[in-house]
Chains A and B, each alone.
Chain A
Amino acid sequence: MGEIPCILSIGAILIAFKCLLIPSYTSTDFEVHRNWMAVTWNRPLKAWYTESTSEWTLDYPPFFAYFEWALAYVAHTIGFDECLQISKTPIMSSRILVFQRLSVIATDIFYIAICALYAFKSPRLVAGIPKKMRKNAQEACFILLACLQALLICDSIHFQYNSMLTAFFILSMYFIDSGRFLLAALTFSILLNFKHIYVYYALGYVFFYLVNYFEFSAAKFLNNFPKAITLAISLLLPFAFSIFPFFHVAGVEGLQNIATRLFPVSRGLTHAFWAPNFWALYNFADLILYRILSILKIGKFEAPTYTSGLVQEYSHSVLPNVNPIGTLCLVVIASVIVLTGLVIRWRKGKDPIFNFERIFRKTYSRPVDFSLFAIFSALSFFYFGYHVHEKAIILITVPMTILAIKDPKYHRHLIHLSCIASFSLFPLLFTPFEILLKYAICVAYFFIQLTFLKRYTRMPLGDLLPWRHIASWVVLAIVEIYNTFLHKWLLSDRLPFAPLMVISVLTSIELTGFFGSLIWTTFADGIIEISWQKATCRLREQLIRDMTYSVQTVEDEQDVQIVAGVDTSASSSNPDMVYVSVSFWKYPDLQHLATISDTRILRLPYIPQYLAVREAEVVADFVRSVIAERPELRPDVILCDGFGQFHSRSCGMACHVGALTGIPSIGIAKNLALHDVYETVGIDKRAKVDQFVDSCREIFKSNKSVPGFIPFDIVEPVKLNILRMGGSMSGVFVSAGYGIDLDLATTISAKTLLNNTTCEPIRAADLESRRLVRENFDGNRDKIE
């Protein structure tokens, strides 16, 4: 499918679906927006924010009011004047319904267009993605954004104009991606003047602009002043347009009116339904404490009122009360910590001195994407903010979708987040047809996500759905079904808030987990995480050296029927994405049985001397899954490219693979990096190593066509044999992995060598994985360069 057909089909399906949803239930927001239309149409500008015939007063910033006025103008022009009456009681008719619904659908077309613009035209969306995957990535991005389930539920059923606002945010991201920072700031400022909730992103913008827009080198420092001024102008311009008319007609009082409407004070810490954030847990803890203490009759506490399901101010029973300023402090502290971390990482990615190791190893690193700044900023606000609506989770899912497309490491985070979002949005709809609809929509979106993410990365589904996530969804689904279908029937009207509370507590636990794991994945190459990974790796190596892992050892060459070579090849544009291949061969006559490959994502960083951290588990998992599928191929020995026990900690990659699969393993390396050898034998024996290598060359030269091996016996016990079949000057370096001794390992290796230097099973796996990388990730190398 090309771009245009994709946009057309998805757009047409979405519009059709939304049109079919026109008769569905609408919340009070429907009347709210109708009333705003009426107010802006019938009242003069200065009365917009004071008019209060209906209880649904105008409480969005002026741009939204202008937008409502424009809608009212359209309604008036095409003869829908019945929408435009100010009335205390709601006005509803099928014509009004159709008009308002169609107005949402019209703004949806704008949203779909912006999604298409971002997905297909953003230069940075696919910059870090292997070439052959880019088209699928762009289509996935477009489809996942356009079909966002939260927007469908909130806009097309519940009734709001979130898609239009989200479109402005995506547009701003598009400008940032194409490096037009001033336009991006302008768009964001316009968005803020539509709906002030988007201030959730503000801190993200601040930090991102600090490091990307301003320049900190001494030479260019003076450039910052004009830059700051232009930025300030583009930020303030929309404010001037939105606020000035009110100032002009009503003076300072006009501004005060706006401010009191925009920031109402008499609202509680949490909404009627607790959004899945920290305060849901806080309320819950308070409630539990209150119950325990009243049962034990310790102290006297007032009964909590936050379980009433009403929007009001309340106080906690046992735990200290939380005021808006306190939550704001928490938000700022949390986001400043995380965003500063991002900034530091960004400096690291940019600065060659910090990044020496990465360049040296050719590991990939990219400057931190804006979507991460946006996510962390919005997430902190959502998590610690005062009176957060559950709908605000859209503010996190949108940049998360974009981040996941940019970096496939985050796919499972995205899927988990959208499931949490689905569950926390369910209480919005409670009428019979809409209950069915909300489930159908969320399930459909879940599968759409799976389908298109799978199409993009070609990863196995298991990689997108860790067991822990599935378990949490099952629990949530059970509670949700109980809540909808059984609770009324079992308990009639008692404890009406309990199931809702359980849902929000469970989802907030999941969101906490999500927050944590997002931080963990993002900062996985931070010092703490690296130390942690090193420690766990060392622990595992200790277990390996102690032979704690069970393994089916081979004692004799006769036992070996099948050998397998494993290898991985990484995409050149994104080294996190690899193909793992395992090639099975009959032993000793080396008949090729099968070569099986699959894609995987390496989530852990490359740490020098700790290669196993990054690859071993992925490789072992893959081999295990292949053997589980085809037990007749179970190899007796696994051959790995690399070293086994010849290693600075006597535990190379091959040992890890052997221990984790329970199959004896041999490490066969083609090259011996002297640097590694010094580290292994001790830097003091450097001269001896050099001498040894030289003498090896001599020996090989003098025994030209005799196959044989030289034990590397500088250190005892011998852990490395230098094996050569004849002809060549250099050999291969064999070291035993796990569950096998060096002599047998050498004998087996000798028979798998095709000519002098290549081990046939490893070579087959290597060739196959490279071929697949070429075919599915990067395309023909020659054509790129």
Chain B
Amino acid sequence: MNEKYAKGTINPVFIKLKSTEKVSRPGEKQKTIIDLSAPWNQSLITITTLAVLICFQIAISLNPHSGESQPPMYGDYEAQRHWMEITFNLPIEHWYVNGTHNDLLYWGLDYPPLTAYHHNLLGVIAYKVNKSWVELRDSRGFESVAHKIFMRISAIVPFYIFYLPPLILALMRFKKTSPVLYPLSLLYPALLVIDNGHFQYNSVSLGLFLSAYIFIIRNWTLLGSMLFVAALNYKQMELYHALPVFVFILSRSINKSQPLGTILKIAKIGIVVILTFFIIWLPFILTGTAKDVLIRVFPFNRGLYEDKVASFWCAFSFILKRIPMVQNVQIYLSTALVLICSAPSLISLFIQPSERNFRLSLTTTALSFFLFSFHVHEKTIILATTPALLLLPEYPSLVLLFLNISNISIFSLCIKDNFPFALVFFFAYFVVSYSTHSRKPILHILSTSLGFLICILEMYGPANQRFPHIYQLANAFFSCLNFLYLLVSFTIAAFEKVKKE
């Protein structure tokens, strides 16, 4: 009990503060206000997308691969397995050469050396796991669940090693993006269906190309060109991208004030490119089979196109067939058309070597190669869509149309592989892409829906005796028209930018 209040009187004391001076107020409040609560967490979205992606990859892997139980030739799956067998068992000089053990008519190697090395490595692993998978001759047409898992995993792993990191790095360069960008670009069905369903190793070459792209735009030109040469030596189809890469590097290297420096720089790049080529081809040069490799890799003796592909030549074959003149000069005509169609975007890239122009030019050039060049597969469309994926934040409508049409264009392949349920996946991608997209371009949606209609006809349409491939041809024609429209739109887009700046 306090003494002071013993008598019951209350007497509070007022104590004056010593320092009465007002503290100086800062005139300008610099505000650092951080709100840590955020609805989206970019890394969480990426991880979730990856988890969903791997679900889809495994689910697609369950489905039949190309040529499953279809002797005597089987399909691409058997081709890859056969290459493992050849490269594992034979010495390097016999890889590309017809011989007693290497029947080139039975899936002879027709990709450049890096593919062969890759299959050699896989062959070693396969041998370690199970000898019978790569037994010379006796393993032809080998199929088992364990082998399927091995092959499927061998196609999924390079996706994460080669393809995914540069793609994510490229997408990370866009600052403000919608949360569906990652799902839409990572879950692009055509690549998944071709690599994990049909069975190929496209993710390797595309991944090498994307890493080359990343390094080149960051001005690590030497490393970039080395990687691009590697991509080229994995699949010769990477030539589709060669022109823009060349033009971009050239245009960026030119420094008008220092002509000597420019020449030196270009020379340096040239030497690196030649050296890389040389190292990759060295074993074949030493064994003297380099020429055989070249013949295998560029098969000019094959036709203008294979199967029903959405290229200009195939889609308009019903007209072109009737013009005899075209038949004779088609090889010159196709080269000329490719060059004419890719020229505008290349010129625009040369004048203005910006990242956006680079991506646009890569897309248009690859697309014109796909449409007009010689001997095209339907699978090659992913060479054009891969750079287009990087345009997704800038030209969402065009790119979404492109991606969806490319899915439709490879559906004929899925039917051949006995994998019709791929269509549901393509359709889901279509639904997701347009329901999350803020603008809804009616014409694009209608056109894509028409494409799905054709796909359904392909599956269930009444058979036509006179034209057994009428629906495939319809699909090719439809896709080709869309691709032509996209080619024009992307070319215009490249020039719009130039005008603005």
What is the interface of chain A, defined by CB distance below 8 A to chain B?
1, 4-6, 8-9, 12-13, 15-17, 19-24, 136, 432-433, 436-437, 440-441, 443-444, 446-448, 450-451, 454-456, 458-461, 579, 588-599, 688, 691-692, 695-696, 699, 703, 706-716, 747, 750-751, 768, 772, 776
- A277: min CB distance to chain B, Å: 29
A783 to B358, CA, bound (A): 50
Contact flag A20-B35 (CB < 8 Å), given A696-B12, A713-B12: no
8 Å CB contact of B15 from A436, A590, A711: A711
Do the beta carbons of A19 and B149 come within 8 Å of each other?
no
- A687: min CB distance to chain B, Å: 9
Interface centre among B2, B10, B31, B424 (most CB of A within 10 A): B10
Do the beta carbons of A710 and B16 come within 8 Å of each other?
no
Contact flag A710-B13 (CB < 8 Å), given A8-B435, A19-B425: yes
B33 in contact (CB, < 8 A): yes
Closest to A458 in B: B37
Do the beta carbons of A708 and B15 come within 8 Å of each other?
yes
Residues of B within 8 A of A433 (CB): 58, 61-62, 145, 149
Contact flag A716-B2 (CB < 8 Å), given A598-B35, A708-B16: yes
Do the beta carbons of A20 and B62 come within 8 Å of each other?
yes
Contact flag A23-B63 (CB < 8 Å), given A450-B48, A597-B35: yes
Residues of B within 8 A of A451 (CB): 41, 44-45, 48
Which of B393-401, B426-434, B461-469 makes up part of the contact surface?
B426-434
Contact flag A16-B39 (CB < 8 Å), given A692-B12, A751-B23: no
B36 in contact (CB, < 8 A): yes
Do the beta carbons of B44 and A16 come within 8 Å of each other?
no
- A738: min CB distance to chain B, Å: 24
Do the beta carbons of B44 and A713 come within 8 Å of each other?
no
A21 to B40, CA, bound (A): 30
Contact flag A459-B13 (CB < 8 Å), given A1-B436, A447-B47: no
- A365: min CB distance to chain B, Å: 25
Which of B49-57, B167-175, B303-311, B364-372 makes up part of the contact surface?
B49-57
Do the beta carbons of B36 and A597 come within 8 Å of each other?
yes
In the assembled complex, 10 residue pairs joining A and B whose CB atoms fall closer than 8 Å, in A order, are A20-B60, A432-B146, A433-B58, A460-B37, A593-B32, A699-B12, A699-B14, A710-B13, A750-B17, A751-B19
- B389: min CB distance to chain A, Å: 19
Do the beta carbons of B52 and A12 come within 8 Å of each other?
no
A437 to B51, CA, bound (A): 11
Tell me the chain B residues, 368-405 only, with Cβ under 8 Å from chain A. Answer: none
B38 in contact (CB, < 8 A): yes
B344 in contact (CB, < 8 A): no
Residues of A within 8 A of B432 (CB): 9, 12-13
A707 to B14, CA, bound (A): 10
B318 in contact (CB, < 8 A): no
State which size class the interface on B falls in. Answer: 35 or more
Tell me the chain B residues, 18-43 only, with Cβ under 8 Å from chain A. Answer: 19-20, 23-26, 29-41
A408 to B431, CA, bound (A): 31
Do the beta carbons of A772 and B35 come within 8 Å of each other?
yes
- A677: min CB distance to chain B, Å: 14
8 Å CB contact of A460 from B5, B36, B55, B424: B36
Closest to A592 in B: B29
Residues of A within 8 A of B47 (CB): 447
Do the beta carbons of A710 and B37 come within 8 Å of each other?
no
Residues of B within 8 A of A458 (CB): 37-39
Do the beta carbons of A440 and B58 come within 8 Å of each other?
yes
A385 to B24, CA, bound (A): 72
Residues of A within 8 A of B158 (CB): none
A589 to B27, CA, bound (A): 11
- A219: min CB distance to chain B, Å: 49
8 Å CB contact of B435 from A5, A454, A595, A696: A5
A8-B435, A455-B40, A772-B35 known, 18 other contacts, Cβ within 8 Å: A15-B428, A19-B425, A22-B421, A136-B39, A433-B62, A443-B51, A444-B55, A447-B47, A594-B34, A595-B31, A688-B10, A699-B14, A703-B16, A710-B15, A712-B12, A747-B19, A768-B33, A772-B37
B108 in contact (CB, < 8 A): no
Do the beta carbons of B59 and A432 come within 8 Å of each other?
no
Closest to A594 in B: B32
Interface centre among B4, B41, B60 (most CB of A within 10 A): B41
- B467: min CB distance to chain A, Å: 27
Do the beta carbons of B12 and A596 come within 8 Å of each other?
no
A598 to B41, CA, bound (A): 14
Contact flag A432-B149 (CB < 8 Å), given A451-B45, A458-B39, A461-B41: yes
Do the beta carbons of B2 and A713 come within 8 Å of each other?
yes
A692 to B14, CA, bound (A): 12
B11 in contact (CB, < 8 A): yes
- B425: min CB distance to chain A, Å: 4
A456 to B45, CA, bound (A): 14
A436 to B146, CA, bound (A): 13
A712 to B149, CA, bound (A): 80
A592 to B34, CA, bound (A): 13
- A778: min CB distance to chain B, Å: 14
Residues of A within 8 A of B33 (CB): 594-597, 768
Residues of B within 8 A of A450 (CB): 44, 48
Do the beta carbons of A692 and B59 come within 8 Å of each other?
no
A706 to B17, CA, bound (A): 8
Residues of A within 8 A of B34 (CB): 594-597
Contact flag A440-B51 (CB < 8 Å), given A13-B428, A13-B432: yes
A98 to B481, CA, bound (A): 35
Residues of B within 8 A of A776 (CB): 37
Closest to A702 in B: B14
Interface centre among A4, A19, A22, A594 (most CB of B within 10 A): A19
8 Å CB contact of B10 from A4, A695, A768: A695
Residues of A within 8 A of B52 (CB): 13, 444, 448
Residues of B within 8 A of A9 (CB): 428, 431-432, 435-436
Interface centre among A9, A437, A443 (most CB of B within 10 A): A9
Do the beta carbons of B37 and A595 come within 8 Å of each other?
no
Do the beta carbons of B58 and A707 come within 8 Å of each other?
no
Interface centre among A440, A460, A711 (most CB of B within 10 A): A440
A440 to B153, CA, bound (A): 14
Residues of A within 8 A of B427 (CB): 12, 16
Contact flag A590-B23 (CB < 8 Å), given A16-B425, A447-B51, A709-B15: yes
Interface centre among A16, A443, A450, A591 (most CB of B within 10 A): A16
Residues of A within 8 A of B15 (CB): 708-711
A475 to B354, CA, bound (A): 51
Tell me the chain B residues, 415-429 only, with Cβ under 8 Å from chain A. Answer: 421, 424-425, 427-429
Do the beta carbons of B48 and A448 come within 8 Å of each other?
yes
- B168: min CB distance to chain A, Å: 16
Residues of A within 8 A of B436 (CB): 1, 5, 9
Residues of A within 8 A of B38 (CB): 458
Contact flag A706-B16 (CB < 8 Å), given A432-B146, A597-B34: yes
Closest to A586 in B: B26
Residues of A within 8 A of B10 (CB): 688, 691-692, 695, 714
A258 to B145, CA, bound (A): 42
- A566: min CB distance to chain B, Å: 14
Closest to A712 in B: B12
Do the beta carbons of B63 and A688 come within 8 Å of each other?
no
- B212: min CB distance to chain A, Å: 30
> 8 smallest A-B Cβ distances: which pairs?
A5-B435, A16-B428, A444-B51, A12-B428, A594-B32, A458-B37, A20-B59, A598-B36
Do the beta carbons of B14 and A710 come within 8 Å of each other?
yes
Closest to A147 in B: B52
A447 to B54, CA, bound (A): 13
- B65: min CB distance to chain A, Å: 11
Residues of A within 8 A of B26 (CB): 589-592
- A66: min CB distance to chain B, Å: 29
- A479: min CB distance to chain B, Å: 21
Residues of B within 8 A of A703 (CB): 14, 16
Do the beta carbons of B55 and A440 come within 8 Å of each other?
yes
